[in-house]
Chains A and B, each alone.
Chain A
Amino acid sequence: MNLGRAKTILIIAFIGLNLFLGYQLFWPDFGRLTSVAVTTEEISAVENLLNDNNYYLETSIERGIKTSDFLKVSPDWETLDNLLEGYIERGAEVESNEDLEYYRLDDKVAIIHSSGLLHIRYSPGILLDENLYQDNNDLDKSELKDLAVEFLEEENLMLQDLIYDYMEQENDEQTVVFFKQELDDKPIYTGHFKVIIEKDRITALEAYWLKPIKRIPEREMEVIPASEALRNLVNKLGSSTDERSIEEIELGYYSEEYDAENWEIPPVWRIALDGSEYYYINAFTGNLEQEPVIPEKLPDDDNS
């Protein structure tokens, strides 16, 4: 038999075999690569729904199909201990009661809650850069953010996976700068730092840092599209009397802070209203993650 002919036949046969294997292996994902989770019609429909209820979309909606998994975490006691090491080395006075531990050092008091939440109070506060600061209303957000980052670096609190999140003006005198935790470019909203600035001083810091134990790839599933998350939120909140803008919709991880050894965090769509109000829609169930559902108390016995 002609060798060249045999090679041709084998090439054809292997091309066929590889097509078959490729089909078996990738077909579902092929479909997902070529399609989108959110069609343009769906985006229009959602925008109409939002507008009808006085919400206005001022950000883009991700249209691709996304998957996610649960993330198992625990309070990061190791990082917390490292942060407090400096206090102890400098002779901090330590007190504790059932749920709280106090570290008093000069003009600072660090309080650790049993959940792992760290709260540091500075009295009378750390003065911001005098040259830069005259009235914090005069500073723009980027300057305040830079000051907060600078403060964290000076205090040795600027952790590797900590990134700036947003800023909230509580009142004329108080601004809070929020930082969030990240893991592989995915935000973990539960892990956060809050730098509290009052007038010309940083007066407090709240830190809650999580240790990612493991991702659970065997429970990886497709998440609901962002458009569905928006629908669910509007259904939950109802119509707004004032115009409200939706400025961000982002996929990350979020759960309540639990006083627990470890727990699994679900993926969520975080939706920002007016840049200061945040809602978390469970990206698997579509439910709003809000009040704890942990059984605590039975209804009052108010027999009729």
Chain B
Amino acid sequence: MIEHFKSALLLLLVLLSLVLTYQLWYGEKPAELTADDVYERVVVETPRPMENLVTPARITAFFEDESFLFRKGEPVYENLWVVLSQLLQDLQHDEIFAGMATPEEDATSCIVFYFNPVLPVGEEMPWFPGLNATEIEKIKLYCSTEEADEDAEAADNEEPVQNEEPAEAEEIEEEIEGQEEEEQVGEEERTKEYWLLLKKPGEDTSSSIPLTEEEAEQFIELLSEIPEEKGAYQPLTEEMLEEYFERDLRLQDSIYVPAGDVSMPTLSMEPEDPDEEKLLKTFFVDYNLVRTIEEGDGGVIYTDGGKGLRVTDSGLEYSNPRKEEGHSSVSYREALRNSSRFISYHGGWPENLRLEDLVFSSRGRYSYYESEWVFYHDGYPVYVEKPTRVHFNDLGLFNYSRSLFFVDDLQKNSNEDELAVENSDDPEDDLEEDDLENGPVADWVEALQEAIKIYDAQSPVNKTSLRLEAMEPGYVVTGTIDSPVGKPVWRINLEGEAIYLSVGELQEFGEEEIY
């Protein structure tokens, strides 16, 4: 009897062990004990150095009797900034802000670097590190006048006097000495002079630093590399505005417009394609707590109930309302570093994306910094409906929108070689080819006239005087999300209103047409 019981028990134990083994091997895992201990290391871009973060908003140059404008994305711009940045790091401290060496009255402003955001120099900065912290909004390179240069060149070309008849040795020696003296005088005449003028924000006067010819020649050499196809620009003046317009127009800032005929191509664009999972991990420490909301238009919202991230075909928007109610007590420099950190961390910092603005703002009892970023293509800004903006305070990032479109590979290739679709028989390809052709840019006078018309039609008050804040060619991203295009536009800022006009027909682009 007992043996039967033992057999049955043994059989039962064997079966139980099989069931337990199966459960252990294939069964469901127990739930996580806690919801807040799931962390993962995320590899993101390293924030960039200050030299990449604060760059000139634009560089104007006067070279060979013509004015030029350079912006982000142009090789000349990049090279000029590298040279200036290095120079500002190398200059001796006692030469800075001495204000003793002023340029000659008739010296010309060869190159001007405009900074917005302003350039922080002094303590903890790569530029003038030994000085007290301060900011610079404009740096001008002054060159000695053309006349002086011409005199120097003329002196350079003068042939030394040669006697036809041979002379005695002493006379020859005297002649040689005389020639050497003449050559020394010639060299003194030939020596050009250069000054660097540094202007701080809110100050009318500038501090000047004399430059050696060697230091200054680096800039001049770069100007000789201006591509032939680069069109000249001209600065707008109050007199020009008076000449062409009956309306009283006031210039808020120096504005440069194309001086001659310019053409711009329509660009084939593609939206940024971020690594969504990685992006998610940068916003949500524990993304296991994140839930998704799939919208009808294809957008996806991620939220943990406290903060939300919406990812659409054209970009992303992030919001953390709990952090809005905070203050910002950090310095401008620290805010710059934070801007670099946030853009690098949340999506990365693509090439030719420039920090366009950094402002301290307040709303009621709360304060924050807002940084804005703009993508440039070949020196032209690419505008989108919702610019890439970062809002942050001492509590951290609380609002972030990012919408970036890049020129697609086909377009890049077509710029180097003719369009790949050129020989295609496909009518769609022909259409694409037509669309991507260069189009002429309407004259600035016509563009401004049209913008004033539009402004007057939209404005409830008829203003007798208008403030012209900015005027420049650029691109707006439009078309369908499957095949977005960058249409060349005139962007004209009148009385705080930005008006986008197609460069050819001068048709206005409404907000709803822009991505």
Contacts from A to B (Cβ < 8 Å): 3-4, 7-8, 10-11, 14-15, 17-18, 21-22, 24-25, 28-29, 67, 70, 217, 219-224, 255, 258-266, 282, 284-285, 287, 289, 291-296, 298-304
Contacts and interface: CB of A to CB of B under 8 A. Distances in A.
20 contacts: A7-B6, A11-B10, A11-B13, A14-B14, A15-B13, A70-B291, A219-B288, A224-B35, A264-B291, A264-B293, A282-B304, A285-B35, A285-B36, A285-B305, A294-B293, A295-B399, A295-B401, A299-B361, A301-B370, A304-B360
Given A17-B13, A263-B301, 19 more contacts: A14-B17, A18-B17, A25-B27, A70-B291, A222-B32, A223-B35, A260-B295, A260-B301, A263-B294, A292-B308, A293-B308, A293-B319, A293-B321, A295-B318, A295-B399, A295-B401, A298-B401, A301-B361, A304-B360
B17 A266 contact: no
Shortest beta-carbon contacts, A-B, top 10: A295-B317, A14-B13, A21-B20, A264-B291, A263-B293, A295-B319, A293-B308, A304-B362, A67-B31, A220-B31
A220 B31 CA distance: 5
B30 interface: yes
Interface centre among B17, B32, B34 (most CB of A within 10 A): B17
B293 A258 contact: yes
Contacts of A287: 304-306
Contact of A4 (B6, B30, B391): B6
B306 A285 contact: yes
Contacts of B27: 25
A263 B296 contact: no
Contacts of B98: none
Nearest to B13: A14
Interface of B: 2-3, 6-7, 9-10, 13-14, 16-17, 20-21, 23-24, 27-28, 30-36, 288-289, 291-296, 301, 303-310, 317-321, 324, 359-363, 367-368, 370, 389, 391, 399, 401
Contact of B20 (A8, A18, A258): A18
A285 B290 CA distance: 10
Contacts of B10: 7, 10-11, 14
Most buried by B among A24, A220, A263: A263
Contacts of B28: 217
A70 B303 CA distance: 13
Q: Taking chain A's interface residues, is the majority helix, strand, or loop, or is none over half, making it mixed?
A: mixed
Contacts of B321: 291, 293
A232 to B, nearest CB: 12
B495 to A, nearest CB: 15
B362 A221 contact: no
Nearest to A27: B30
Contact of A260 (B288, B296, B401): B296
Contacts of A22: 20
B356 to A, nearest CB: 14
B35 A284 contact: yes
B284 to A, nearest CB: 10
A221 B16 CA distance: 29
A298 to B, nearest CB: 6
A25 B34 contact: no
A90 B34 CA distance: 54
Given A260-B295, A287-B304, A28 B391 contact: no
Given A295-B317, A299-B399, A304 B296 contact: no
A284 B368 contact: no
Nearest to B367: A304
Contact of A295 (B24, B308, B362): B308
A304 B361 contact: yes
Contacts of A10: 10
A294 B320 CA distance: 9
A223 to B, nearest CB: 7
A45 B455 CA distance: 65
B293 A285 contact: no
B310 A266 contact: no
B59 to A, nearest CB: 27
B196 to A, nearest CB: 32
B295 A261 contact: yes
B510 to A, nearest CB: 18
Given A14-B14, A15-B13, A265 B291 contact: yes
Contacts of B292: 263-264
A221 B304 contact: no
Nearest to B298: A261
Contacts of A263: 291-294, 301
